Structure 1
Amino acid sequence: MDTKRISYLYDRYQSNSLTALELEELGMLANSQEFDSHFEVVFNKIWEELKHEEVHKMGIEAEQAQVDFILSHPRPKTRRLKFIHKIVAAAAVLIVVFAAGLFYRSFQSAQTMQPAYAIVPGKQGATLTLASGKQIKLSDASKGKLANEAGIEIIKSADGSLIYQIKDAGTGTSGMFNTLTTAKGETYQVRLPDGTVVQLNADSKLSYATSLNAAGERRVELIGEGYFDVAKDKAHPFIVKTATQQIQVLGTHFNINAYADENVTRTTLLEGSVKVFSAGTQKMLVPGEQASTRENQLSISKADLESAVAWKNGEFVFTGQPIDEIMRLLSRWYNVEVEFKGPPTKEEFEGTAFKEKDITEVLELLELTGAVHFKIEGRKIIVTK
C-alpha cells in the first residue's frame, strides 16, 4: 500500500476535492487490513511537519503532553468533541481520531450524510406583526421606513436590524402590541423604543407594547431565546415575562432561554443585576449566575457564560448536553426534522462548532465520538446509536 497515495487522497478528502473515482479508491483502501498501519505513518508525518510551523513554536510540549494523555487514558463518559480554532489543536485531533480508529467510520458517515442539497445554516430574518394585524416579512422588506403606528416609526436599518423611533410620545396606547417572530433557521435583532436591544434566536417570539413605557414599566413577553441589552431607565423597570419566569431589571445584559419544548427555563446574567420571580419565590442574580426553573422549582447556580451566549456569537458550545437536547438546538437553527431510531444515547457531549457550517460538518464531528450516527433523508435527520 502506497503511503504517499493515502496522504494525497486524505488531503483531497479534507479539501472536499475528491473525484468519484478517488472517493471509491479511498473507501477501498480504508477497508483493507493494512490501512491502519499505513495511515499512522501519514499522521506521524503530518505531525512532524506541523511541529515546525510558526504557530507551534510556543506550547508544543504542552500540546504533545495533552495528546499523550488522551491516547493513554480511556475516554470518560462525556464525549469530548474537538472543533478547534488553531492548527496545533487540529493536529492533536487528527492523532486522537486515528488512535481511536474512527477515521473510516467518519469517512463512511460522510457518504451516508450527503443530502441531495445542502442543509445550510440559518440567516437573518423575522416576521413583524403590527398592532393593526399587518405582517411584514423583514427578510423581504426594503431598508428604510416600514411603518408608523401609535407615534412610533419603525425602520429597517442598513445592517438589516429593526429600529423603533418615538415620533409622538403622546399618541402611544398601552393596548397596542407588536410581535417579532423568528422561524426555525432565522435570527433577528431589534432596537425597542427605549433603546433596549434584543437579539432573538431561531424559533422565538417577542411581544411588546408599541408605547413600551405603559403603566410606568417596560414589559415584554418572550417565547424561545433572546439576549437583552437593556437601556437604563430608573423610572421604568424593564420586565421580561416567560412561561415560568418573570425577570425585572433597570439596565443590564442577560440571556433568557425559554423554549416551550425544553423542560427548563434559564436566565443568565452577564452584567448588572436582575430579580427573577418564579415558582412563588424570587431571587437576585449577580453577574455570572444563572436562574433555572425546572418542574416548578427555582434554583441559582454558577453560569457557563460562553455556553449561554454562544448562539449569538456564531457558535454551538456543548458542555455536557445529551444528544436529544443538541438535536433540538440543531433542528431550530437548520430548520430540519429530527427522528430518533430507538431511545437516545445517555452519553453527554462537550465541544464547540461554528454555526456558519453546513449541518453535515457538525454531524460528522458528533459522529467521531462513536456514540451516535446520523442519516439524512431530505430535511430529516435520523439519529441512531
Structure 2
Amino acid sequence: MNYKDFLSDDLFVYWRIHPSKELNTFWESFIRENGEHGKAFNEAIEIFEQIRNEQDLLLTADASLLQALKSRIKKEKKRKLRIVFISAAAVLLLTFISTLFMLYEKPEDTLQQLSIIGEVKDNSNIQLFTGNDVLEIDNNSTLSLSEKKHSAVIQHPLAKKEIDLNDSQVNTLVVPYGKRSTLILADGTKVHLNSGTKMKFPTSFSGKRREIRIEGEIFIDVAKNKTPFVIQTPQSQITVYGTSFNVSSYSEDARESVVLVNGSVEVKSENSTLRLNPSEIAEIENGAILRKKVDVSDYIGWTNGYMQFNKSPLNEVLKKIGRYYNVEFQYARDLDMNNQTCSGKLFLSENLDDVLEAFSKMTYLQYDKQGDTTISIRK
C-alpha cells in the first residue's frame, strides 16, 4: 500500500474529518498489526491535512485524486454526522456491502401481517450462581478461576474483587441479552460468552474429563491437556482435542452450529458423528449433521466488536443485532426479510442508533424506535 490507497479509502477520509474514539482505536490497531504500511499511512495524513488547510503540497500526488479529496472535504465540512457506516475498501476491514436488492412498491400491510424478529428479555445484570449464592457481575467483566484456591477474580476496567467458590458445586454463569462476559476456567481455557448465553462449569476439573454445558453462543480457546475436554449442548456433544472454535446453540434456533478455527473437534449428535477440520462448520438439526467450508470470521467477529455476514438473510442479521442489544424488530411481511441478503462487516458501536443507521443506509429501509426495546422497520 502507498499513501494514495489511504487517501482513496472512505474510512480513512471519514476518520480525518470526523475523528472518534472508536476510529482512533481502529487505526492504531491497524498500524500496530501492519507496521509495513506505517510510512504510507503517515504520508497520507500529512497530505490530507495540507489539503484541508489549503497549504502547498510538500509531496507530489495525483492531481485528480487531490481534486476529489478537496471536493469531499468541502462537502463533509457541511455535514454533522455520527459514524454509522464504515467502508474501508483499501484496508479490506470493516466493510458493510449490500449484495443489494430491489424492494418492490406494494401497499402497506396491516398489523395482521406484522412479523417480529427477536424477543426482549429482562435486561438484568450478568449473574453467577454458585451454591446458594447469586452474584451480580458487571457487563464485559472477566471471571478468572483459580484451581488451587477454589476462588475467582472478577476483573472489570473500574474494579477488581475476589470471591470464594464451593469446589463441590457446579456453577452457572448467565449472560442476558445485551450483555457479554469472559470466563477463564481453572485449567486456563478461555471462554467468551455472547448475549443470551448460559454456561454450567465446575470450580475445578477432576476425573477423567473436563466438561461444561452451554446454551447460547460461545467462542472458546481450550487449554491443552491430556484430559479430554467435552462440551454438552442441547443438540450435541463436542469433544475437543486442543483447539479454538465457536458454538452457537440458542434454544429458539432450530439449528446449532460448531465452527472450528484451529485444532480438531469431534461433533456427536443423536444420529451422527463427524470430525471437523479447521475452517469447517458443523450444522446440527434434528439429529443430522451437515459439514461445509466457511470463512470463520463470519462466526467469531462478535468477539472483536463486529459482525461479519456472507449473503446472510436480513432476518438473521436483525436477529443477531437484537440479541446483542436486547431489542426486537417488527416489520410488514411484504418486506420478505428472509429472502433479502447482505454481506460484509458491521461495526458494533456502543450506541444502537449507529448500527440502525448503518442497516438503514445499506438496505434503503427506514426504522422507527418504539420505546427502548422495539424497533419498527419500514420502506
Same fold? TM cut 0.5: yes
Aligned residues: 282
Give CA deviations for 1:12-57 in whole Å, capped at 9, x if unaligned.
xx969xxxxxxxxxxxxxxxxxxxxxxxxxxxxxxxx89x999x97
Is 1:155 the counterpart of 2:153? The answer is yes
Q: Are the equivalent residues in 1 in contact too, given 2:146–2:152 (CA < 8 A)?
A: yes
* Corresponding residue of 1:139: 138
* Corresponding residue of 1:126: 126
Is 1:191 the counterpart of 2:184? The answer is yes
Is 1:180 the counterpart of 2:179? The answer is no
Which deviates more from structure 2 when the two are superposed, residues 298-307 or residues 81-90? Answer: 81-90
Which entry has the higher C-alpha Rg, 1 or 2?
1
* Corresponding residue of 2:215: 223
Residue from 241, 244, 248 that aligns with 1:250: 241
The change in CA–CA distance for 1:128 and 1:372 in structure 2 (over 3 A counts) is same
2-structure distance, mates of 1:320, 1:53: 44
1-structure distance, mates of 2:369, 2:136: 30
Q: Are the equivalent residues in 2 in contact too, given 1:225–1:257 (CA < 8 A)?
A: yes
Is 1:360 the counterpart of 2:358? The answer is no
The change in CA–CA distance for 1:334 and 1:53 in structure 2 (over 3 A counts) is farther
Instruction: Give the counterpart letter for 1:134 in structure 2.
Output: D
Q: Are the equivalent residues in 2 in contact too, given 1:152–1:166 (CA < 8 A)?
A: yes
* Corresponding residue of 2:377: 383
Instruction: Give the counterpart letter for 1:200 in structure 2.
Output: L
1-structure distance, mates of 2:260, 2:170: 27
Give CA deviations for 1:295-345 in whole Å, capped at 9, x if unaligned.
432011112111110100110111111121111111111121222233543
Residue from 83, 87, 91 that aligns with 2:86: 83
2-structure distance, mates of 1:283, 1:53: 61
- Superposed displacement of residue 89, structure 1: 8.6
Give CA deviations for 1:207-235 in whole Å, capped at 9, x if unaligned.
0123333x41111111110011111111x
Residue from 181, 197, 206 that aligns with 1:204: 197
Instruction: Give the counterpart letter for 2:219 in structure 1.
Output: Y
1-structure distance, mates of 2:297, 2:142: 33
Q: Are the equivalent residues in 2 in contact too, given 1:162–1:191 (CA < 8 A)?
A: no
2-structure distance, mates of 1:308, 1:166: 34
1-structure distance, mates of 2:257, 2:331: 26
- Superposed displacement of residue 162, structure 1: 9.6
Give CA deviations for 1:278-302 in whole Å, capped at 9, x if unaligned.
1311111111111111243201111
The TM-score normalised by the length of structure 1 is 0.62
Is 1:311 the counterpart of 2:302? The answer is yes
Instruction: Give the counterpart letter for 1:85 in structure 2.
Output: A
Q: Are the equivalent residues in 2 in contact too, given 1:150–1:172 (CA < 8 A)?
A: no
Q: Are the equivalent residues in 2 in contact too, given 1:331–1:337 (CA < 8 A)?
A: yes
The change in CA–CA distance for 1:160 and 1:133 in structure 2 (over 3 A counts) is farther
Residue from 210, 216, 225 that aligns with 1:233: 225
The change in CA–CA distance for 1:339 and 1:267 in structure 2 (over 3 A counts) is same
* Corresponding residue of 2:344: 351
* Corresponding residue of 2:79: none
Instruction: Give the counterpart letter for 2:178 in structure 1.
Output: G
- Superposed displacement of residue 259, structure 1: 1.3
Instruction: Give the counterpart letter for 1:227 in structure 2.
Output: F
CA RMSD of aligned residues (A): 4.4
Query: Which residues of 2 match residues 31-50 of structure 1 at below 5 A?
Result: none
2-structure distance, mates of 1:88, 1:229: 28
Residue from 292, 297, 319 that aligns with 1:328: 319
Instruction: Give the counterpart letter for 2:183 in structure 1.
Output: V
The change in CA–CA distance for 1:177 and 1:163 in structure 2 (over 3 A counts) is farther
Q: Are the equivalent residues in 2 in contact too, given 1:164–1:193 (CA < 8 A)?
A: no
The change in CA–CA distance for 1:365 and 1:238 in structure 2 (over 3 A counts) is same
1-structure distance, mates of 2:197, 2:235: 16
